[in-house]
Structure 1
């Protein structure tokens, strides 16, 4: 049994707000460089370079939101949790159910505002995450994945 699920549409708003946060951080850094230019005669090109990089990074991050959304999927099978992202730079991760040790749900203020949670799947070696799913779905996924992991561990005994 395998059903591929796409992330909910609200995640696009989170990604766009993340781009705005990056823009704000870049503006603060650019302002700091402008102050350094004024106080200590740092080169003016640093200010312009920082501003250019900040705007370029914001525009690219914002433009990639629909792309990220279109190619972000996950599926739960009897044997693995599969997470896929990207088309040009495709990344597909299969986490064997037998290796899963813990499933954690996380939600920062923006995710909480959009009623989303991040599903973090931990193995002995690393963690992987499903970036954001609705709260009820996240709870269901946690219970489903952990039930399958316990079932596999019980069968191995």
Structure 2
């Protein structure tokens, strides 16, 4: 059975988009100061603000889409991560290849009582963006136990 991320992850994604927007505004202010001090072209300010609006706007608009189609599933054979409808992406991480499971929690996730679960193989790291803290602990234990059993069977 595939599991959807908790609804609080949308708040985290919105806050991240707004923080990105703040960084674009700071860049535009820097260009404005450079324009006043060294006569840099004014269009740099407009470009920074325009790109910032496009970046933040596209992220905010896509949050419901991203949330509606992001799923994960843990089975005895693999961890499956699925996202997207138009551009569908499904990743299956074989349990036998998993080396480590890490839980991470920055200030935005902590504020929503969520943690990200990072599943590491020798080649790459895959992430479940944010699950409730108790679920994250259970996922880590479940995945590591399945990985241990898979290594013992091999």
Give 1:124's aligned residue.
122
Match of 2:41 in 1: 43
Question: RMSD value over aligned CA atoms?
Answer: 0.7
54, 57, 60: which is aligned to 1:59?
57
**Which runs of no fewer than 5 residues in structure 1 stay unpaired?**
none
Query: Alpha-carbon deviation of 1:55?
Result: 1.2
Tell me the equivalent position of 2:19.
Answer: 21
Q: How far 1:56 moved relative to its partner?
A: 1.6
| Alignment pair present for 1:79 and 2:77 | yes
The two structures have a TM-score, normalised by structure 1, of 0.96
In 2, the alpha carbon distance for the partners of 1:49 and 1:127 equals 34
Q: 2:102 is matched with which residue?
A: 104
Q: Name 1:148's counterpart in structure 2.
A: 146
Q: Deviations over 1:104-150 (max 9, x none)?
A: 10000110111100000001111101000000100010011011100
Indicate which of 68, 71, 93 corresponds to 1:70.
68
Give, in whole Å, the separation in 1 of the partners of 2:125 and 2:47.
36
**Displacement of 1:49 after TM fit?**
1.1
SS at match of 1:153: helix
Whole-Å separation in 2 of the counterparts to 1:120 and 1:55: 31
Tell me the secondary structure at the aligned position of residue 61 of structure 1. helix
Higher alpha-carbon deviation: 51-60 or 96-105: 51-60
Corresponding position of 1:8: 6
Aligned residues: 154
TM-score normalised by L of structure 2: 0.98
